[in-house]
Amino acid sequence: ETGVTQSPTHLIKTRGQQVTLRCSSQSGHNTVSWYQQALGQGPQFIFQYYREEENGRGNFPPRFSGLQFPNYSSELNVNALELDDSALYLCASSLTGINTEAFFGQGTRLTVV
């Protein structure tokens, strides 16, 4: 167990709706990254938060947004859901630094119908 917890574990939403996914990082970790993993694919980097600021973003549209709170927990928000947004959303927490270990949560399985 990594100490990174995500909620909810499963979620079903309708196309066009909005969703908020939550992540509690491991104690002491100040950096949170979010990844999208479609079926049969490796995780794709969405964005990273460090000290409550977005610190790097992958190739995802603006309807994917996030927040990091003073306790380093984080939220991923997706607006105007599309069918292709169906995926496992993973949160990873780490300390600052390029070669530091990232600890992943168990993920949120989002299904858009």
56 touches another protein (CB under 8 A): yes
Q: Does 92 bind another protein (CB under 8 A)?
A: yes
Which residue lies nearer to another protein by CB, 58 or 75? 58
CB of 15 to another protein, least distance (A): 24
User: Toward another protein, which CB reaches closer, 16 or 56?
Assistant: 56
Q: Is 24 helix (H, G, I), strand (E, B) or coil?
A: strand
Residue listed under structure tokens 């780490």: 94
24 binds another protein (CB under 8 A): no
Q: Which stretch binds another protein (CB under 8 A): 14-22, 68-76, 79-87, 94-102?
A: 94-102
CA distances from 13 to 39, 68, 84, 100, 108 (A): 17, 23, 12, 35, 13
Q: Which two tokens stand for residue 48?
A: 């990273």
Q: Does 31 bind another protein (CB under 8 A)?
A: yes
Please give the structure tokens belonging to residue 61. 């549209």
What are φ and ψ of residue 17, in 5° steps? -75, 175
Residue 70 touches another protein, criterion: CB under 8 A: no
